[in-house]
Amino acid sequence: MQDGARPHRTEKVFRFLDEYFGNRVIALDYPKFTGTGMDWPPYSPDLTPCDYFLWGALKETVYGNHPSTLDELESAICVPCNSISVETSKDVMTNFILRLRHLIFSNGEHFENIVFRLQ
């Protein structure tokens, strides 16, 4: 879910997720549909690395050249993704672990105002 877009929670999407990821999915209403996985924690904006790191890191690069075709858009996304260093990836995952620990410590409460820094 990005920029206020509604999450894709159709039966077709849940079946796809269940087929490929099984009980490793964290998504709103997913456990109700499949009986597996984990419901999306309430009040947890920017919990995943894509939310708190990737979209912000790529947005300017991807849209800076104003891609006008799907091929240009794909290239504008893939090239910078492939250039993310191993060290940056490690920092992002360390940050993700800290966020999950904070979520557990706060008993699922809202923690948007806490700033987690990448090294």
Mean pLDDT of 18-24: 81
Residue 89 lies in a domain: yes
**In this predicted structure, what is the pLDDT of residue 87?**
93
30 and 83 share a domain? no
37 and 72 share a domain? no
60 and 87 share a domain? yes
Residue 25 lies in a domain: yes
Nearest CA-CA partner of 93 in 41, 50, 59, 44 = 50
49 and 37 share a domain? no
* 71 vs 58: CA distance, rounded Å: 17
Residue 53 lies in a domain: yes
Residue 114 lies in a domain: no
Find all residues with CB under 8 Å of 106, minimum gap 6, and list them: none
User: pTM of the prediction?
Assistant: 0.54
User: For 77-99, what is each residue's pLDDT tens digit?
Assistant: 999 999 999 999 998 888 888 88
List the structure tokens of 110: 């809202």
Q: Which domain holds residue 76?
A: 45-106
3-state helix, strand, coil in the chain (%, to 5): 55, 0, 40
